[in-house]
Amino acid sequence: MNKDKIWHLIARKLAGEASIDELRELEQLLQHHFHMKHDLKLLEQLWLAESEHDEEYLEATYVLHQSKMKKMGLQPGVNIDREKPAGPAGAKKKVFYKWALIASLFLIVTTVAFFFVNRPKNAGSEAVYKKVEQLQNTGIAETRKANKTKLVLPDGSTVWLNSGSKLLYVDMLKVANRREVTLTGEAYFDVAHDEKKPFIIHTASIDVKVLGTEFNVKAYPEDATVETSLIRGSVRVVLKNDPSKSYLLKPNQKLVLFKPVAAVNTTNEKVQTEKAFEGIPKVVVQKLNYINGSAIAAETSWINNTLSFHDESFKEVAVKMERWYDVEFEFKNKRLELELLTGMLPSESLEKAMAAWKFTTPGFNYRIENNKVIIF
């Protein structure tokens, strides 16, 4: 708990809100966690160096950071109620972006990053999708865990279906004015252009409407969020619970919808669910994540047989790995569930992935028993 307290005090110090007693407490705690003094110096340098900020990125970062700090039982900064201005003009906005900037710097410093540099030469999408299924008429395409598939719809659109996913489609050539599919899980779409027949992807929480473009939709029922990531063209995302609200995405943007807890369909206690908290929107639009200068966004790297994650907790990554490898994770060490991770797993076996993970994460041990990975 001391480390969490240190990060809390560092954030207050950077924001200029720490009291004399809090500064003294921080100094005392750093005496027992000497290695974190380097993190503090790096944060201070980044704080001074930052001059231009993308407001959309900062707001999205603030939302995600607030949520993660809430799960650790901490309050990283003042609550910002953007609907009720208070104080001098612009003062509230200044306070909000101050804390948003701190959140973005924390993501740089506190993230555990690991990469496998010796990527197999044949780890690209062509090695994974040796068989392409040409769909006809109306039906359901489905993938099990640890499997992915590549589909060609009747209209010529291509779909990559991730593990544990299902796509319901109709004979698009026989429908006069539209093309529609229903997705449960995750899929990447390369939609054939047809101005007269819009392409619509239905999920439980959102509808995505396009004419012709490339994008990714992640809508697993057990996940706390639904995401739409745009690579090329444009898409309009419409909320199911409020059709009057829609969002037009530009290339290299993604929309993240935070689902109400009641809408998270799961009996798996390990799945991370996040309660909405006051003053924070349930929809954010932010930039795609390109890890370590990669040319492929983390949100779509799975179609190239690479599992990527950006500022996600160990627990959240474990859920992805359960789908990826068709295994079950069990955490004996609950503290590790909140460890933040950024990295890539390109076409590695479960054993190699876990060995690399252990090498990069202090205090982390594991054992594999049949199809269960036990973290302790």
* pLDDT in the model for residue 270: 40
Say if residues 239 and 246 touch (Cβ distance below 8 Å): yes
At residue 183 the predicted structure's pLDDT band, cuts being 50, 70 and 90, is: very high
Enter the tokens of residue 127: 């090695």
pLDDT top residue among 109 and 357: 357
Q: For the range 267-274, what are the long-range contacts, defined as Cβ-Cβ under 8 Å and sequence gap of 24 or more?
A: 268/222, 268/319, 270/315, 270/318, 270/319, 270/329, 270/330, 270/331, 271/222, 271/223, 271/224, 271/319, 272/71, 272/224, 272/313, 272/315, 272/316, 272/319, 273/224, 274/67, 274/70, 274/71, 274/224, 274/225
Question: Residue 228's pLDDT band (boundaries 50, 70, 90)?
Answer: very high
Residue whose pair of structure tokens reads 């359901």 in the numeric block: 140
Domain boundaries, the chain: 2-108, 115-375
Per cent of the chain over pLDDT 70 is 64
Per the listing, tokens 């001059």 go with 51
Question: Is 115-375 a domain of CATH 2.60.120.1440?
Answer: yes
For residue 205, pLDDT over 70 is answered with yes
pLDDT interval class at 171 (50, 70, 90) = confident
15 pLDDT higher than 90: no
Is 61 within 8 Å of 286 (Cβ atoms)?
yes
- Pick the range with the lowest mean pLDDT from 92-96, 110-114, 184-188: 110-114
Once rounded to an integer, what is the mean pLDDT over residues 25-30? 84
pLDDT for res 363: 73
Single-letter code of the amino acid located at 96: F
- Range of lowest pLDDT (180-184, 198-202, 211-215): 211-215
> Of 296, 305, 304, 333, whose CA–CA distance to 318 is shortest?
333
